[in-house]
Amino acid sequence: MKKLIQKLTDTYSPSGYEEAIRDVILAEIKELAEDIRVDALGNIIAKKGKHGKRVMVAAHMDEIGLIATHIDESGFVYFTSVGGSNPRYLPGGHVRFVNGVLGVIGSERISKANVVQPIDKLFVDVGATSAAECPVQVGDMAAFVHPNVQMGGRLVAKSLDDRIGVAVAIETMRRLKSGPNEVFFVFSVQEELGTRGAIVSAYGIDPEIGIGLDVSHTGDTPNSIRRELALGAGPAIMVKDSRMLYDPKVVAWMEGTAKKAKIPVQREVLVGGSTDARAIQVTRLGVPTGGLAIPCRYIHSPSEMIDYEDVENAVKLLTALLSAPIEL
């Protein structure tokens, strides 16, 4: 699975420009489902199984990025965030525009070294000497450049949010035999812009049960806010986030399955943010929905970190959940 994770995170596909990562995923799953289609918005919908509960499992394939808003007379590219890039992580970082142009993020001169520059004071230097020479135009999108690095049992890369959820879904498809449920694996687009892909795919599938796969913040670094989630302690079963309450029956089903299979798990209450699970939960007449999260440090930075054992245990749990008849 590590080679798969590297292939996924090495691909550049910010929100709205998911074609490259979609091609990678389609190549990986082409033999793993009875039916695979791409909808009008660009979501991949892969169905496995023909009977039982209709289950939607969603992991988003887009990543955060930048979009050019202005090119100044010297060829520096000013930008805004696509999907919540944190300005404290940006200066000195490298980016790659969708057209292949590379750049480094710089900042205007500051008088106080401990002040974080807002995004409108940052720019991308692409090596141009004038606006006419600049190979980037207003509206061009970029994603971060960062190598995939293994540190013992930890993995560091850009776009682990949510390529790691994509990897969990693909590996689960590999391990899942034709079971008692009709499972729709959805690799969604534009989650970072408001779960747009999951909204339309959930409407089309009309699931009876939903599961969102994503990452969630940890509380295991020095001076972090008080929260229980830690790397290496197992995947997290979501209880609440800032936009939804996860269905208690689904939470109990997930926790009971984990206990029976002796898979370590954590509980998560996410103070800020949400996932594709919310879009599933409120589709049509409503769907009982749960969330499975991979603990992750430094989310929405070029150097996100996860523990490989958490990923493996997430695959084991998701496979166990989908392999048996579901009664909530």
259, containing H or E segment? helix 248-261
Q: Please give the Cα distance from 210 to 254 (Å, whole number).
A: 12
- Amino acid identity for residue 73 in this structure: E
Residue 239's SS3 state is strand
Question: Is 108 part of the annotated catalytic residue set?
Answer: no
Distance of CA 233 to the CA centre of its chain: 20
Q: Please give the Cα distance from 202 to 199 (Å, whole number).
A: 5
**Options 63, 191, 268, 304, the catalytic residue:** 191
**Neighbour count for residue 242 (Cβ, 10 Å):** 11
Residues 124-144 as b or e (16 or more Cβ within 10 Å = b): bebebeeeeebbbeeebbbbb
Q: How far is CA 179 from CA 18, 32, 47, 284, 310, in A?
A: 30, 13, 12, 26, 24
Residue 53 tokens read as 């509960």
Residue 128's SS3 state is coil
* Residue whose pair of structure tokens reads 């892909």 in the numeric block: 197
Catalytic annotation, residues = 191
